[in-house]
Amino acid sequence: MKIDKIGIVANTEKESIADHVLSLKQWLEEKGVQVFLEVDIARKISSHDGLAWNELARRSQMVVVLGGDGTMLRTAHYLAGHRVPILGINLGSFGYLTEVNLNEVQSTLELIIRGKFVTEKRMMLDVGIRRGKNTRHVGSVLNDAVINRGDLSRMNELEVEINGNYLTTYKGDGLIVSTPTGSTAYSLSAGGPIVFPGKDLIIVNPICPHTLTNRPIIFSEDSSLAITLWSKDKGAMLTLDGQEAYKIKSGDVVLVNRSKHVTMLVLSPFRSYRDILRSKLGWGDLPPGARKRKNA
């Protein structure tokens, strides 16, 4: 499918972002592509044609995101349910979701406009909070839902049930529930495993557990998690993809399930996920001789 309607989202705090967006917009329009701007970046470049998220998703065949992983996560949140493919352009120094570098934008979009691109479905999680008899959905995440300590530096007690069956009670700083996409985010920093994003799995990873035998666990995608906070202090914070935060108190239950929504990411035509891992994590490449033997 050829692409001739593209939406643009950008991190308005990035240096020279207005110049990048204007240059990209002009280049796309010269190629015969109709361009739509998200309202915040439209204001940044003094345009009055900005669109709200729903309208941007409705009109666009693809959305290009200029920024870092945080901007990609924000975009995934607002576009959940629309299944519009998202292409990430990396303007930062580190990012797993923004696969295309700034100097590759035109060559990448040349292929995309002609319909030569590949998308990958990324699993999302639905998160809710149950307080007494009331349950409310608070959001869908692409990376993770994190329960952290509140204002006081004391341990949280987090009782975890899987599919209605008691698993264990974690004592420590908190708990990370992540998707494979989120396995290279906060979960990785907390000692969690790297899971290739083609797999639909749920990772539960304790943060600084008091009991050292509490280790990360991987569950199937159809698992239903209920995490009850038991705390005598001022409660804890539930954070969704690092974008939204909710105060929870003792007795509240955080519910996490696989979402019906997915995020459609446009893959880089120049590098694989393995290449991205090697680059971002500083892993050494194969020496020339080993590469020849491997390909023989």
**What is the pLDDT at residue 285?**
63
Q: Which domains does the chain have, with CATH numbers?
A: 5-118+267-295 (3.40.50.10330), 125-260 (2.60.200.30)
Rounded to whole angstroms, the Cα distance separating 277 from 5 reads 31
Pairing of strands 5-10, 34-37: parallel
User: What is the DSSP code string of 200-264?
Assistant: -EEEEEEES-SSTT---EEEETT--EEEEEE-SSS-EEEEETTTEEEEE-TT-EEEEEEEEEEEE
Q: Would you please indicate which residues are annotated as catalytic (active-site) residues?
A: 69
Are the CB atoms for 68 and 75 separated by under 8 Å? no
Q: What is the CA radius of gyration of the chain?
A: 21
**What is the pLDDT at residue 30?**
96
Phi first, then psi, for residue 11 (nearest 5°) are -80, 105
71-85 burial, b at 16+ Cβ within 10 Å, e below that, comes to: bbbbbbbbbbebebb
**What is the pLDDT at residue 94?**
62
**What is the pLDDT at residue 294?**
52
Tens digits of residue pLDDT in 263-275: 999 998 888 888 8
In 3-state terms, what secondary structure has residue 154?
A: coil
User: What is the DSSP code string of 6-67?
Assistant: EEEEE-TTSTTHHHHHHHHHHHHHHTT-EEEEBHHHHHHTT-S--B-HHHHHHH-SEEEEEE
User: For the chain, which ranges sit under pLDDT 50?
Assistant: none
Rounded to whole angstroms, the Cα distance separating 40 from 229 reads 37
Rounded to whole angstroms, the Cα distance separating 296 from 291 reads 9
**What is the pLDDT at residue 272?**
83
Phi first, then psi, for residue 165 (nearest 5°) are -110, 135
Q: Measured in Å, how far apart are the chain's first and last C-alpha atoms?
A: 36
